[in-house]
Structure formats: C-alpha cells, structure tokens
Amino acid sequence: MITQEEYGSRRNALLEQLKNDSIAIVLSALPSSRSNDTEFPYRQNSSFYYLCGFKEDNAALLFLKSKKETKTLLFVQKKEPTMELWSGKRMGIDAARSLFLVDDVYGFDELESKLAEWVKKKSVAYYDFGMTNPVIARFKELTKKFYAHHNIWHLIASMRLVKSHSEITLIRKALEITKEAHHNALRFSKVGKYEYELQAEFEYIFKKNGAYSDAYTSIVAGGNGANTLHYIANNRRMQAGELLLIDAGCEYEYYASDITRTIPVSGRFTPAQRELYEMVLGVELEIIEMIKPGVKRSELQKRAEELLTIGMVDLGILQGRVRKLLSTKAHKKYFPHGIGHWMGLDVHDEAPYKEQNGKEIPLAEGMVLTIEPGIYIDENDQTVPERFRGIGIRIEDDILVSAEGHVNLSEGIAKGIEEIERLSQTY
C-alpha cells in the first residue's frame, strides 16, 4: 500500500513546481447518475487520488504558495447522520485531520467561502482545464481578473509518468489476479457458451481476489468479433474452430492491469491461425526487447509497423514492396492502432507523451507501458487469402522500464502456442 508519507511527498513535489503567489485546486470526481436516484459505482478522480489517497466525493485539495510559505489544505464532507443513513459512513473532518499529512482540514461546504478569502492574496491560479465542475466554474470566476491561469493537469500527469516502488507493487498484484483469470479462461469449457459467460468468470475472479472492479470493460470477442477493436457486446456464442480475443484486466487499489490474449475456442490452433499468431507474437517479443531508457515510443511504433508489414507480405495478406506499403500506410487497414500506451492509475494512464513544447518524452526508468501489436482481418475481406479471413489477433503485455532495459510484468500469463494448448481444455 501507499503510505501517507508518500502522498505527502507527492504534494510537496507539486508545490515545488507552482509559481509564487499562487493558488491551486484539485477536486474529487463527481458522482455519476445512472437514472433517477441511482448512481454508477463511484470512482475517485485519479489525479486527486494520486495526491492523497482519499476515496470519497465532495472533497478538494487546495495549495497555497507564497515566497515565505506553502500550505496544503484538504476539504472533506462533514459527518451528517441523516446522509450517512442513506449513503454510508463518512470519514469526517476530525478523522481526516488525524490521518492526512496536510496543514489543515475543512468541511467541503466551506470551500467556496475559503476560496473567496484566499484568492484575494494570490495572482496565479492552477486548475484542471479539462474538468467540468461547478466548483471549477466558481474558481475561474473568482480568479478571472488579475490572474495568470495555468493547467495543473500537465504538472500532475508528468509526475504520474514514473512509478514508485509502491505503485509497481500494486500493479504486480493486479497482474497476479489478472493472470488467474486468463488462465481460468484457457481451462473454461468455451464451445457453445456465450461470451458473457466467460466475462462473468473474469469478473468473479477479480472480485474474489479483492479487485473490486475491472480496469475497463472486458472484451471477449470470438471469431470476426475480434476485428471490432472496442467490441464489448460479448453476447455471441463461441464457436468451435474460432479464435477468441480476450482483452481483460482488473484494477487493484486503483492501479490497472491491461492484458490481451488470443486463444483457440477448441483448445488447438488451426494451421492458418498458428501462422498468423506466430507472426504477431514474434513482433511483440521484438518490440519488447527494444524497450530501455532513452528509447522513444514513436520508434517502437515505427518498428512494429515495419515488422507487421513484412509479416503480412510474407503471408500474402499485403502485396508489394514493404517500403512502398509503409509509405502509403497500407498496413493501417490491418493494424490501425498504436503499439501501446502508458498504464498506472488509469488503464490509459493520464500522462503526457510529449513535453509542453511538443518534444516527445523518451522512456525512463519507472515508466510502465503496454505493448500490443495486432492484426485484424474482416471475414468479408476478399483481398486476403481465404484461410485468414475472420481472424483477429492481439497480444498485449505490461512492461516496466528498468535501469538496465525492461521487465515484463505480465510474462507469467501464457501466450506461447504450446503453453496455451497445454493449458487449454480440448473438446
């Protein structure tokens, strides 16, 4: 778990980046209404959580900085017995004051009056430009005159790029649980079952291991469904002889895992499936080997596109010279997405890929990213050999950049053909 001392060090690191005579606000997430008086399960704003670890709504962090001093103030929902009867217990001011290493704690209902008082003494304002919230609207109104406005998002997001030992430990735990779920999927009797039945197996394993939510809506896509990148209907019967693309990972204590495996429904790859799978797997392994400090994500993308294009030409999926195919982006028809993304508190971690000056951020020790090459061939694509039509394959792992190179945090999740077939139940 992440200690309050670590959260405190993050807040201090943020304060160091703020200009003098500034006021900065970071807010909790708003509850999301489902219908009438029901709501979706609440999840805290990741950047707010990153700075304090507080999971309740109606909360805010306020940072004050002058040449002489800095202050960090936390606002929380006061304890109200009637509200708690309906919605559950709150931590309240006194408990928050004893737990969080901040200068003071106030009730959330005091936030607007405190803002009106403190903005008079500052000339620089920081807030998340992308957040829509009544408090943000009021903050902008209070600071619209005589203030320089800065987007605090980039400061916090840049801090989130490099993971601490505690964060990596939580990601590893999420991956342990996700491994169990994916290996269960290999053993699960799939032929004739609905995709949502397997999705339910994933969600059960996540929750029984303390991962109370998935990191994103699971994709369980059999056959041609795998060629829809964000397929989440999960309502088709799984058919013998088809491949099944499963993109599923849990979230443990707010930290994500993101794993894709493509497995045979019947437990054995057909020759055509094997050919295409081995090509994609070879690309993934080579790209992972490239990862080390100083390498740029664009370099990984470029090499992945080259290797996949070469592989598709060798298999007869694309025709022509590799260089010309790349220049015309012919490969995008079958590999339309990026090679990977940052991962952490969010499955697509809210961290920048470029500096504010537009310069690409190279990989550095402590960063975590996914690597996920894929090939997607629609069943009606008459331009490719018939044996490959209707096949969609993606293989995805979560990689930590280390001082020496990299660590595949998910290497224990089966992806080799022989291992998949050995673990699978054959019917």
Name the CATH architecture for the domain at 165-423.
Answer: Alpha-Beta Complex (3.90)
> According to the model, what pLDDT value does residue 190 have?
95
Question: Is it the case that residue 379 has pLDDT exceeding 70?
Answer: yes
Choose the catalytic residue: 284, 396, 397, 398: 396
Report the alpha-carbon distance of residue 58 to residue 90 in Å, rounded.
Answer: 11
Instruction: Dump pLDDT digits (tens) for 209-251.
Output: 999 889 999 999 999 999 999 999 999 999 999 999 999 999 9
pTM of the model: 0.96
Choose the catalytic residue: 341, 346, 397, 398: 341
Question: Is it the case that residue 120 has pLDDT exceeding 90?
Answer: no
Terminal Cα-to-Cα distance of the chain (whole angstroms): 43
Mean pLDDT over each residue of the chain, to the nearest integer: 96
Binned at pLDDT 50, 70 and 90, residue 425 comes out as: low
CATH 3.40.350.10 region(s) of the chain?
A: 4-158
Choose the catalytic residue: 5, 37, 69, 404: 37
Report the alpha-carbon distance of residue 263 to residue 277 in Å, rounded.
Answer: 9
Report the alpha-carbon distance of residue 250 to residue 189 in Å, rounded.
Answer: 22
- Which of 258, 266, 19, 259 is CA-nearest to residue 155? 19
Mark whether 149 is an active-site residue. no
Mark whether 349 is an active-site residue. no
Q: Where are the alpha helices (DSSP H) in 292-408?
A: 297-315, 322-327
Choose the catalytic residue: 337, 365, 387, 411: 337
Report the alpha-carbon distance of residue 226 to residue 390 in Å, rounded.
Answer: 8
Which residues neighbour 10 within 8 Å (Cβ) at sequence distance 6 or greater?
50, 51, 159
Mark whether 396 is an active-site residue. yes
**Residue with token string 């673990």:** 423
> Phi first, then psi: what are they for 72, rounded to 5°?
-120, 125
CATH fold for domain 4-158: Creatine Amidinohydrolase; Chain A, domain 1 (3.40.350)
Do 399 and 370 form a contact (C-beta atoms < 8 A)? yes
- The length of the chain is 427
Tokens of 228: 């829809």
C-alpha pair distances (Å), 304 with each of 310, 340, 407: 10, 10, 19
What is the average per-residue pLDDT within 320-330?
97
Question: Is it the case that residue 388 has pLDDT exceeding 70?
Answer: yes
Report the alpha-carbon distance of residue 139 to residue 162 in Å, rounded.
Answer: 30
Do 66 and 44 form a contact (C-beta atoms < 8 A)? no
Question: Does residue 255 or residue 33 have the better pLDDT?
Answer: 255
What is the average per-residue pLDDT within 21-31?
96
Choose the catalytic residue: 201, 346, 376, 406: 376
In the chain, pLDDT over 90 holds for what percent of residues?
A: 92
Mark whether 247 is an active-site residue. yes
Instruction: Dump pLDDT digits (tens) for 150-194.
Output: 999 999 999 999 999 999 999 999 999 999 999 999 999 999 999
Report the alpha-carbon distance of residue 66 to residue 19 in Å, rounded.
Answer: 8
Do 241 and 269 form a contact (C-beta atoms < 8 A)? no
Question: Is it the case that residue 427 has pLDDT exceeding 80?
Answer: no
What is the average per-residue pLDDT within 115-121?
89
Mark whether 165 is an active-site residue. no
Mark whether 258 is an active-site residue. yes
Mark whether 37 is an active-site residue. yes
CATH 3.90.230.10 region(s) of the chain?
A: 165-423
C-alpha pair distances (Å), 64 with each of 67, 155, 179, 301: 10, 16, 44, 42
Mark whether 376 is an active-site residue. yes
What is the average per-residue pLDDT within 393-402?
98
Choose the catalytic residue: 348, 378, 387, 421: 348
What is the average per-residue pLDDT within 115-130?
91
Choose the catalytic residue: 10, 11, 160, 394: 394
Mark whether 57 is an active-site residue. no
Report the alpha-carbon distance of residue 222 to residue 208 in Å, rounded.
Answer: 26
- DSSP for 233-251 reads ---SBP-TT-EEEEE--EE
> According to the model, what pLDDT value does residue 382 have?
97
> According to the model, what pLDDT value does residue 36 have?
85
What is the average per-residue pLDDT within 364-372?
98
Question: Is it the case that residue 419 has pLDDT exceeding 80?
Answer: yes
Mark whether 230 is an active-site residue. yes
